[in-house]
Every structure is written in structure tokens, then in C-alpha cells.
Amino acid sequence: MKPTLTLAETITPDGMKLVLQKHDESYLVRLAGQTLMHSSAAASEQRLGELAIAPFAGRPGLRVLVGGLGLGFTLKAILTWAGRDARVEVVELFSEIVTWNRDHLAGLNGSRLDDPRVEVLVEDLWDVLKRTPEGSYDAIVCDVDNGPVAMVHRGNARLYKDIGLRRIHAALIPGGRAAIWSASDHPPFVERLREIGFQVEVVSAKAYAAARRDTHRIFLADKPAQTATRGHG
């Protein structure tokens, strides 16, 4: 059995150890001993990116906000389907995740950060949403923590509460889509999305392509189309 190699590690502002490791040909990130992401179990992350922009195929000037870089699989999927003039802003709380993607994961998905359509913001998604004008994005992708249930970083919980969902709703254009990744099903969260004003579809997703069961969920929250003009600027 091949050993697990630690490629890099750091201590987060919360005092937890964040570690990048490699086992055989797979990469994984652990926080406080808990596996957050694994390159061999990224099928649902790729699916998240595909579903997020599926309604906008071929639309010029597509603007997408991505909360959570991870190992770059969601970003890769978005860039595959987005047009040449798309603008994709990737928000990542931990600067180390960005650095590791560039330094250690360039052969995996890290090179996507050099795509001219991509802008990386090293900050909290919450702060980005607070300053975002209404109707700014066609799609908002949220892959933060483990979704609306299990919280690794306590501050992330507010993204999934009414106040956070209202900000996501406001930041979308009429007819825009929020795609939210979750480690598991969560019916109360679906009801919360509907109460905010979203039209919701729940899509089951596999952790890896050959998996027998769909263990994860992607919540597709569509903002109803209206006659208001787009807020791009």
C-alpha cells in the first residue's frame, strides 16, 4: 500500500489544521482531521458546475459567482460550458487553498485559475454577497462547507439561513439560478428556499462516477423571470 504524503499544511484563523495530502494519484484536503474534499470523489462537484449554468448555454456575457474553490472541479465544469466572454468570480476563504491549487494541483485543475475569464477573490462569500448589487449574476454556485447541515466553519451557517438566501436571491438576475451543493438531503432547507421565492429542484448526485448510490444533493434554486432589466455593469 502506498503511503499518504503530506504536501502542505497550515493553521486556519480558527486554530484548526488544514492539510493537503496525496495518496497514490489522488489528492485530499483535511481540516482538523476531517476530509473536506477528495479528488477521486468529485463527481458531484463537477455536476454542480454543469447544472449551475445549464440554462445559460450560449448566452453572451455570462457572469457567474462561485463560492468555494475546493480542488477546482466545479470551476473546470463551468469553464467547459461557459462562453469566451464569460466572467467567473471564484471566492475562497482560505488563501492556502488557492496557493495549493496553483503549486500542487496545477496538473489536476489548478491551471483553470489562469483562465482569463476567472477572477479569484480570497475572502468570505458572505462579504462578497453583502456588497453585490442586485441582479449582478446569472448563476451563483455555493459549495461552502458541507452544505446547510454540517458546519466546519461556524460563520458559514448564515449563508444557508433566510438572510443569506435573500442575498443570493437579490444578487441573481431575474431568471437566474443558484446551485447549492450539500453532503446530504435536507427537506427543511428546500422549504426555506421556496419561502424566499425560489423555484426549487433537488438533484441527487454520486460522490464518484462508479458509485452505486447517490449520496449527495444539489439544490437548484431558480429565481423567477421578470420584466426587470439585467443588473450587469
CATH number for the domain harbouring residue 96: 3.40.50.150
Separation CA 114–CA 8 (nearest Å): 21
Encode burial over 139-155: b for 16+ CB neighbours within 10 A, e otherwise: bbbbbbbbbbbeeebee
Residue 7, helix vs strand vs coil:
strand
Conformation bin of residue 68: beta by default, left when phi > 0, alpha when psi is -120 to 50: left
pTM over 0.95: no
Residue 51 lies in a domain: yes
Q: What is the pLDDT of residue 177?
A: 98
Low-confidence residues of the chain: pLDDT under 70: 1, 150-154, 227-233
Residue 3 lies in a domain: no
pLDDT by residue (tens digit) across 9-39? 999 877 889 999 999 889 999 988 888 899 9
Residue 80 lies in a domain: yes
Residue 45 lies in a domain: yes
Residue 28 lies in a domain: no
Number of structural domains in the chain = 1
Q: What is the pLDDT of residue 232?
A: 53
Residue 17 lies in a domain: no
- Containing structural domain, residue 172: 41-222
Q: What is the pLDDT of residue 1?
A: 65
Residue 96 lies in a domain: yes
Q: Which amino acid is at 183?
A: A
Separation CA 53–CA 36 (nearest Å): 24
**DSSP-assigned beta bridge partners for residue 180:** 142, 219
Contact between 52 and 81 under an 8 Å Cβ cutoff? The reply is no
73-81 and 43-53 are packed helices; what angle lies between their axes, rounded to 10 degrees? 30
Distances (CA, A) of 83 to 62, 64, 65, 135, 223: 7, 11, 15, 20, 22
Q: What is the pLDDT of residue 229?
A: 44
**DSSP-assigned beta bridge partners for residue 45:** none
Instruction: Give the HSE-up count for residue 71: Cα atoms under 13 Å, Cβ half-sphere.
Output: 26
